[in-house]
Chain A
Amino acid sequence: MKWFKQTKYVWPLVPAVLFVFIFVGYAIMMALLESITINGQWTLDAYKQLLENQSFRDSILFSLKVTLTSTFISLFIGVVITRWMYYYLRNYWVKVLIWIPMLFPHFVWGYIVILLFSQSGWFSGLLYELGLLEDFTHFPVLTQDQHGIGIISTYIFKEVPFVILIILPVYIQMNHQYKHVVQTLGGSKWEIFKTVEWPTIFPVLSEAGIIIFAFVLSAFEVPFLLGATYPKMVSILSYDWFFQGDWSQRPMAFAAMIIVTSIIVICSIVLFSMTNRLRIRVSKGER
């Protein structure tokens, strides 16, 4: 009876849950099936091929490196700006300004990064005019480079405003009197951050972090513009295999995406169980 009473209030959730079941659950199941079927036979060959494939192994390591770097730098800069400026960020016009980067798609930012930071870009021209550069070949390779600097900087540009928009409400609603308590008891600024701010922002910040991580690890557009020919981000490899004319590489395309999906799912589960434990501890009053 209690369950029935509960479902009465919960039915508006049904369309959303159903949507996720079909568009994520079913889609991933189909992708998994296609990664383990070759000519109608069940086999793990696609995964074996992937693990033996040097370019895939390099690609997955490179993707993880690029993703972790962009995620942590974006989170760090976002938190630094927000905690320093949250009082002023409440200003309506400042908020409008933060929305401007959101206005352009990721690939437009990627294009701007190429215009500004490539070897024959605007900044190398500026340095030349200032007499600090002999020739554009002396300018460091920052776009379509092997270390993913171009990809990473594009994502940082685009994700820092995202982090600010997500944690700003938390900073505005935070009980700032706790900070005074720490101060009165002789705590340093670092201790204020560690004991008052961190437990409050951690759940929100980790959610923003996993969203950025999942997005950067699997997005296609930015690495397509700014990636080097080797190593490629795993999304590019998978996309190329998917569109290979004779479909022979499709199981590998699916298998690569299933591996990426598994990495993201495992990371999310670890993170959500961590934040849940923290939430329970906070609600019990022991920090």
Chain B
Amino acid sequence: MKNRHYSFLFSIIGLLVFFPVAFLIVTSFALQWTWPQILPTEWSTIGWNALIEEPKLFLALRTSIGIGAIVVFINLAIGFPAAKVLAFQSFKGKSFIEAFLLMPILIPGLAVAMGLHLTMIRIGVADHWAGVALVHLVPTIPYTIKIFRSGFERVGSFYELQALSLGASQKEVFTSIYLPQLITSIRSATFLIFVISLSQYALTAIIGGGNVVTLAMIYFPYLSSVNNAVIASFSLLFAGIPLLFILIIEIVIRMFIPYRSLTNTQQ
């Protein structure tokens, strides 16, 4: 019974997840592939080569990763304290605040970006990576708060109370309790924020005004100008970058965290 369920689940997920991804990989190596062939007749790495030779690619990579990293950092700085209060304190109007903090993902991003456009020009952050990073906070902040809130609820406040009663400082509570215990939340939040930031085309176009060239800004014109092998390679690159980013974050986290054995058993 149990095994049957597992194999069924895996085959469904395999069909829905692996097939499209495998299809992208095959497309990225196709040289000659005409309808109605099931597989390419000739294979090559021309798609990947053309992508790497794109003159704007490395600049765009740098811009995207830089903006993503800043967006992640500000998200953690704003979301972490807010999530802790929502998880552990109850106060008047809490459910209103909860709904209010969900607003950035409910209110249309286009409306927000268009509304901020003139102000951003006035204060000089439009057409600049800083403005783009600020507007990328909008579709991400509520997710960060949600992820950390459920993380704090899972850990509970008992460890903190124990540590405080033994004379630990707030900083020690943070580095030796919450940082190691919330590592899964940090991982999922970082990953999600980074992916969302990479996926923004319209917000980047409006605030960046074409001067801030992120990966999405070169992906869209590609769709109507180059062949499928190049676009497929580019599409795979979009998945590769957050994976690489999360790997780097993982290494950084592991360098700074005490109680490594404890965090490993928590997984």
A and B: interacting chains: yes
Chain A positions near chain B (C-beta within 8 angstroms): 6, 9-10, 12-13, 15-17, 19-20, 23-24, 26-32, 34, 81, 85, 87-89, 91-92, 94, 97-109, 111-112, 115-116, 120, 122, 124-126, 128-129, 136, 157, 169, 207, 210-211, 214-215, 217-221, 224-225, 235, 238-239, 242, 253-254, 257-258, 260-261, 264-265, 268, 272, 276
Complex CA distance for A32 and B92, rounded to whole angstroms: 31
Q: How far is the CB of A104 from chain B (nearest CB, A)?
A: 5
Per-position contact with A for B123-137: 1 when CB-CB < 8 Å, else 0?
Answer: 000000000001101
Cross-interface CB contact of B101 among A16, A81, A125, cutoff 8 Å:
A16
Q: How far is the CB of B107 from chain A (nearest CB, A)?
A: 5
**Total number of B residues with any Cβ neighbor in A under 8 Å:** 79
B13 A94 Cβ-Cβ under 8 A: yes
A257 B111 Cβ-Cβ under 8 A: yes
A111 B78 Cβ-Cβ under 8 A: no
With a CB–CB cut-off of 8 A, which chain A residues contact B92? 6
Chain B positions near chain A (C-beta within 8 angstroms): 2, 5-6, 9-10, 12-13, 16-17, 20-21, 23-24, 27, 35-38, 77-79, 81-82, 84-86, 89, 91-92, 95, 97, 99-116, 118-119, 134-135, 137-138, 141, 145, 150, 191-192, 195, 198-199, 201-202, 206, 216, 219-220, 223, 228, 231-232, 235, 238-239, 242-243, 267
A to B contact number (C-beta, < 8 Å): 219
Cross-interface CB contact of B17 among A81, A101, A108, A220, cutoff 8 Å:
A101
B81 A15 Cβ-Cβ under 8 A: yes
B119 A116 Cβ-Cβ under 8 A: no
| Centre residue among A105, A120, A122, A221 by max chain B CB count within 10 A | A105
With known contacts A9-B85, A12-B82, A15-B82, A264–B108 Cβ distance under 8 A: yes
B100 A17 Cβ-Cβ under 8 A: yes
With a CB–CB cut-off of 8 A, which chain B residues contact A29? 115
Q: Report whether over half of chain B's contact residues are helix, strand or loop; otherwise say mixed.
A: helix
With a CB–CB cut-off of 8 A, which chain A residues contact B9? 85, 88-89, 94
Complex CA distance for A119 and B78, rounded to whole angstroms: 47
With a CB–CB cut-off of 8 A, which chain A residues contact B106? 210-211, 214, 264-265, 268
Cross-interface CB contact of A129 among B10, B38, B220, B238, cutoff 8 Å:
B38
Complex CA distance for A6 and B89, rounded to whole angstroms: 9
A217 B108 Cβ-Cβ under 8 A: yes
B103 A24 Cβ-Cβ under 8 A: yes
Q: How far is the CB of B87 from chain A (nearest CB, A)?
A: 11
**Closest chain A residue, CB of each to CB of B16:** A157
A215 B111 Cβ-Cβ under 8 A: no
Complex CA distance for A97 and B20, rounded to whole angstroms: 13
Q: List 30 A-B contacts (CB under 8 A).
A: A13-B97, A15-B77, A15-B81, A16-B78, A16-B101, A20-B101, A23-B135, A24-B107, A27-B116, A28-B112, A92-B267, A94-B10, A97-B10, A97-B17, A108-B24, A108-B238, A111-B231, A111-B235, A129-B36, A136-B36, A211-B102, A214-B105, A214-B108, A220-B110, A221-B201, A238-B110, A238-B114, A242-B206, A261-B111, A264-B106
With known contacts A94-B13, A103-B195, A6–B201 Cβ distance under 8 A: no
A31 B5 Cβ-Cβ under 8 A: no
Cross-interface CB contact of B239 among A31, A103, A107, A238, cutoff 8 Å:
A103
B35 A136 Cβ-Cβ under 8 A: yes
Cross-interface CB contact of B108 among A15, A97, A221, A261, cutoff 8 Å:
A261
A98 B13 Cβ-Cβ under 8 A: yes
B220 A112 Cβ-Cβ under 8 A: no
With a CB–CB cut-off of 8 A, which chain B residues contact A34? 114-115, 118
**Closest chain B residue, CB of each to CB of A125:** B36
**Which 6 pairs, one residue from A and one from B, show the smallest C-beta to C-beta distance?**
A218-B108, A12-B81, A105-B199, A125-B36, A31-B115, A27-B115
With a CB–CB cut-off of 8 A, which chain A residues contact B24? 108, 112, 115
With a CB–CB cut-off of 8 A, which chain B residues contact A210? 106
A128 B206 Cβ-Cβ under 8 A: no
Complex CA distance for A13 and B232, rounded to whole angstroms: 43
Complex CA distance for A242 and B17, rounded to whole angstroms: 36
Complex CA distance for A40 and B228, rounded to whole angstroms: 48
